[in-house]
Structure 1
C-alpha cells in the first residue's frame, strides 16, 4: 500500500458564469494558471475545511456549498500526492483580507486573481495546471454547473 504523503484541496470556483483562478507569474517561467487551493494542514478538521481556509487565505473569500468532484494523484518521492478537487461557488471576496504567506515573498512571483468564462474553450486557451485538472474541468463544465445548481434534498 502506498502512503499518502501530501494532501491538498483545490476549488473549481465559480462566480456567476466565470471561473476564478490565480495567474502565477514566476521569474524565469512562462505564466500559468492554478485553481484556488493548497495543502491540508495538521489543524484542518477535514479536507473541505482546508479548502475553505485556502479560499480565505488566497482571496479573502468565502464559499457556500462545496462538492468533491475529482481527485488528481501524483507520484511523489516517498509516496502519493492527492489533490481533492471541489466544485464551489464564490460567496464573497475581499483581496485586502488575503492572508497567505506567499503574498509576502516577492521571490515567489505574483499571484493575480483572474476570471475566465467557464467554458471548455476558455479553459483550454490557458495553461491551467495541473493538466489533469485542466482536462477534467474542460470536459465537465456542464456536469460541474449541474452539481452546484442541484438543490440538496433534506428529508
Structure 2
C-alpha cells in the first residue's frame, strides 16, 4: 500500500460565539450559489503549530481573537500531487473587529464576496456549509461542540 504525500496543511475553526452561533464566512462568487465555510487557512512554515496558524488566520480573515481548544476533526482530500489535510479545531470567540481584517480576501475583489456571518449552530442544516463532511460532523455533534466551546470560556 502506498500513501500520497501531504502537499497542503491547513487549520480551520469551528468558532462559536457566546450565543452558540458559529462564526462563518459566507462566500459568494459570480455564477455560483452562495456557500459558507469555517474560518482558517494554510499552515505556513513560519507557524510554530497548527494552533498558531489558526490564530493568525482568525486575525487576518475576521479581525478576531479566540480561545482555541483541541482538534476535533481531520479532513483529507486528494489534490494535485498528493493530499490536502485540514485540521479542524473547536474555538470560542473572544473578540471580533471586522475593520481589523488584513487578509487578501478583503483587498482583492476578484476573489468574490467574504461576509462574516453568525449562524445558530442548531441551524447548520439550513446552509451549504463546505466541505460537506464538516457540515455532517457539526450536525452529528452539536451538543458536544457547544459543551467544548463553553469550557473554553
Runs of 4+ with >2 A deviation? 146-151
How many angstroms does 1:103 deviate by?
A: 1.0
2:108 equivalent in structure 1:
105
Counterpart of 1:4? 6
Report SS of the residue matched to 2:39.
Answer: strand
TM-score after normalising by structure 2: 0.93
Instruction: From 2, 13, 16, give the equivalent of 2:15.
Output: 13
Aligned length: 149
Alignment pair present for 1:116 and 2:119? yes
Quote the RMSD (CA, aligned, Å).
1.1
Give the 5 Å matches for 1:36-115: 36-115=39-118
In structure 1, distance between residues paired with 2:151 and 2:83: 33
**Does the aligned pair in 2 maintain the 1:67–1:148 contact within 8 Å?**
no
Distance 1:94 1:150 in 2: 23
Question: Distance in 1 between the 2:63 and 2:80 partners?
Answer: 33
Q: Could you tell me which runs of 5 or more consecutive residues in structure 1 were left unpaired when the two chains were aligned.
A: none
Runs of 5+ unmatched residues, structure 2: none
- CA deviation map 1:119-138 (0-9, x unaligned): 1xx11110000001110011
Q: Does residue 35 of structure 1 match 2:29?
A: no
Cα deviation for residue 66 of structure 1 reads: 2.1
Shift of 1:2: 2.1
